[in-house]
Structures are given as structure tokens and as C-alpha cells.
Amino acid sequence: KKYNPGWALPAGHQDDDDAERGIKRELKEEVGLTAEFMRVRLMITLQNPCSPKKGGLFHRWIVFITEKWSGEVKTSKEEVLNYVWADEAMIKEFVRRLEEFAAINKLVIENKSLPALVKATNESESWKRNPGLEPPMYIIFKQLRIA
């Protein structure tokens, strides 16, 4: 991602859509894919200061899973710097980078400390050059037992 630099699932604000329409819109906008047969895998509320102007310092995350999609990957120039189809080894490396960054900066990766960690990653030039997993994704991936 460009803002909140780090590796993350396609995501975005729901705006006036319901959750399923919102993620379908974001998936199409960010990576050019159309998802079919989606189902909710996780719902979680996290401290996240990305947009206090939109009404607070938290986000309710709804993670969907799909086993079928169509289209070709075409990333948004405004929101995406790069993409990967990440395997388990890559995910572990992204996790390791965030854990190392947090340790060096004496930060804890947990819900209540997400604002400080997000701020630190946004301000770090070394993180921007070689990011790991975006901080909220770390908690989401742990909940999903992906990382």
C-alpha cells in the first residue's frame, strides 16, 4: 500500500455500500479483480487512525474469503505500489519485518498500540523502502491463523 506502507489485503472504506458491495468495489479498484461466492471469514474492530475525519479512531474490519474470481490483475496507481501472490514463506517474511521494526522501535503489536505503530511505519523511510506486513493486517492475520 502507498498509505500505511506495508503489505496488506485489498481493503477500503465501505462508504455507503454494504460490506460485500464495498469489498467488491475495492477489490476491483485496487487490483482489477472481480470476486464471486464470497463469505465472511472475520469481523474485528481495531484501533486505526487512518482517517479520524471519518468519525473516529477505529475501523471495523470485515474479511471475506473467496475461492473464485475473474479478471486480470491491474493495480491502482493511486493506492498500490506493488502486488504479490504471497505464499506462506513470503507472509512469514512480511510478519518478521514488522516484528523486527516494532522491537527496534520498542513498540508492541497489539490493538491498543496500533495508532503508535501505524504512525511509526508511516514516518520511517527505511520501512517505506522495505516494508513488512501493514500493522492492522498483522492482527488480522493472527486472528485468521495465517501468520
Give 28-51 pLDDT, tens digit per residue: 999 999 998 899 999 999 987 665
pTM: 0.87
Report the pLDDT value the prediction gives residue 71, as an integer from 0 to 100.
95
Give 77-132 pLDDT, tens digit per residue: 988 888 999 999 999 999 999 999 999 999 999 999 999 999 999 999 999 999 99
Phi-psi region of 81 (alpha: psi -120 to 50; beta: other; left: phi over 0): alpha
Could you give the CA distance from residue 73 to residue 85 in angstroms, rounded to a whole number?
10
